């Protein structure tokens, strides 16, 4: 019963097969390999336009590089208060930008809200002693497991454009959001106003591979230099590029995400039937956040389930856990089995 995160499982077989297929012979290093050229073409096809693609090994690296391309050292990047770039990247965006400020705003279930963003930027002091807003970042899925709709992204982009802010999407769980919303990668990103994307793959089947996908050529200008300075330019580049061959070919990434989402939907369906367990947030991907009695939490842990207690600052006042309750985060992956889900629900039901 492993629901701790989606990176606790290994890489998927097609990804490993693609690495092995790219492994023999000699190829130019540092991303000049023939596999990367194939991957570039795959991304252009996927996004239905020319895009520039920079591969890196970690999501934090991708996000920090994106923020640094959008935000000068004297500027601000704005996100929701739950954002991974603010809370879980150990200051990497601030480091890579050379000192920019990350500003976080309250929102709704992890969403950055257009009116809140507009009011915040409008009321910033114009003086030189106030860092100006230069960019925004949204996570898709967001940190509360919610998938923005293209309309919601477009509404944020309208505000961003009004104040000349670049817009980044942290797509660590892009595939899960995409299959939930049933839209195209283009609709989810540049057609809704996203300028630069961290396209996650590691959590959904890759070994260690994320792609920075750039929709605005200005943001790609210095990316080669930034990536090398960040230590994210992999020398045996084809072993990184090839992961995307296995990941994208035959829509493997979408099948993986559909499976993970289906497992999360089963968890939700099972848990919400149990008296005393409730879900304050919708399940729109592969994350489930049940509020449960502490005794149920303990029984699940005692039965060997792996999952974590989760902060509740973005839970509405009426839904906050009571004194004898706690909220958990459960994450499913492309390897989660229906049996694991059934076992978890069974233990929870008996304990409740």
Ligand X SMILES: Cc1ncc(COP(=O)(O)O)c(C=O)c1O
Which residues contact ligand X (rule: CB under 6 A)?
58-60, 63, 84, 139, 143, 170, 172, 202
Contact status, residue 165 vs residue 134, Cβ threshold 8 Å: yes
Contacts of 312 by beta carbon, 8 Å cutoff, 6+ apart:
320, 321, 327
Query: Helices 150-162 and 114-122 sit at what angle, rounded to 10 degrees?
Result: 10
Closest separation in Å from C-beta 164 to ligand X: 25
Nearer to ligand X, 40 or 170 (CB): 170
Closest residue by beta carbon to ligand X: 59
The residue (of 146 and 172) whose beta carbon lies closer to ligand X is 172
Q: How many CB atoms sit inside 10 A of residue 38's CB?
A: 17
Q: Which is nearer to ligand X, 180 or 348 (CB)?
A: 180
Q: How far apart are the C-alpha atoms of 75 and 179, rounded to whole Å? A: 34
The distance of closest approach from Cβ of residue 24 to ligand X in the complex, given in angstroms and rounded to an integer, is: 29
Least distance (Å) between residue 203 CB and ligand X: 7
62 or 121: CB nearest ligand X:
62
Q: Which residue has the tokens 């336009």?
A: 49
- In the complex, least distance from residue 85 CB atom to ligand X, rounded to whole angstroms: 7
Tokens of 35: 């596999």
Strand-pairing partners, residue 76, are 101, 133
Query: Minimum distance between the CB of residue 105 and ligand X, rounded to whole angstroms?
Result: 17
Tokens 């769980």 — which residue? 173
Question: In this complex, which beta carbon is closest to ligand X, that of residue 88 or of residue 346?
Answer: 88
158 in Cβ contact with 120 (< 8 Å): no
Residue 10's Cβ-side half-sphere holds a number of Cα atoms within 13 Å equal to 5
- Looking at the Cβ atoms of 48 and 88, the one nearer to ligand X is 88
Which 3-state string (H, E, C) describes 104-122? EECCECCECCHHHHHHHHH
d(CA 71, CA 99): 10
Closest CB 207 distance from ligand X, rounded Å: 12
Of residues 132 and 171, the one with the C-beta less far from ligand X: 171
CB of 7 to ligand X, least distance (A): 7
């Amino acid at each position: 019963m492993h629901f701790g995160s989606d990176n606790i499982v290994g890489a998927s077989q097609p990804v490993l097969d693609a690495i092995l297929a790219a492994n023999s012979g000699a190829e130019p290093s540092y991303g000049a390999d023939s596999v990367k050229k194939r991957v570039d073409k795959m991304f252009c096809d996927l996004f239905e336009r020319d895009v520039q693609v920079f591969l890196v090994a970690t999501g934090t690296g991708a996000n920090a590089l994106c923020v640094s391309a959008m935000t000068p050292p004297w500027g601000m990047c704005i996100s929701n208060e739950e954002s991974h770039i603010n809370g879980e990247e150990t200051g990497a965006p601030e480091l890579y930008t050379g000192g920019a400020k990350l500003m976080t705003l309250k929102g709704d279930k992890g969403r950055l809200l257009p009116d809140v963003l507009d009011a915040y930027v409008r009321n910033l002091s114009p003086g030189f002693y106030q860092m100006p807003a230069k960019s925004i970042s949204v996570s898709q899925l967001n940190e509360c497991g919610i998938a923005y709709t293209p309309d919601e992204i477009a509404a944020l982009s309208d505000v961003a454009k009004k104040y000349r802010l670049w817009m980044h999407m942290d797509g660590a769980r892009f595939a899960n959001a995409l299959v939930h919303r049933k839209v195209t990668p283009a609709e989810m990103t540049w057609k809704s106003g996203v300028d630069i994307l961290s396209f996650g793959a590691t959590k959904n089947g890759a070994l260690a591979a994320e792609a920075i996908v750039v929709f605005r050529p200005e943001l790609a200008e210095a990316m080669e230099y930034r990536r090398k300075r960040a230590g994210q330019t992999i020398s045996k580049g084809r072993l990184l590029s090839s992961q995307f061959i296995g990941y994208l070919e035959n829509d493997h990434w979408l099948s993986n995400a559909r499976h993970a989402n289906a497992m999360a939907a089963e968890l939700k369906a099972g848990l919400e039937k149990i008296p005393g367990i409730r879900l304050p947030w919708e399940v729109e991907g592969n994350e489930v956040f049940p509020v449960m009695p502490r005794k149920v939490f303990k029984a699940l842990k005692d039965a060997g389930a792996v999952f974590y207690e989760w902060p509740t600052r973005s839970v509405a006042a009426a839904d906050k856990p009571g004194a004898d309750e706690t909220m958990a985060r459960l994450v499913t992956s492309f390897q989660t089995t229906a049996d694991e889900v059934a076992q978890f629900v069974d233990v929870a039901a008996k304990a409740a």
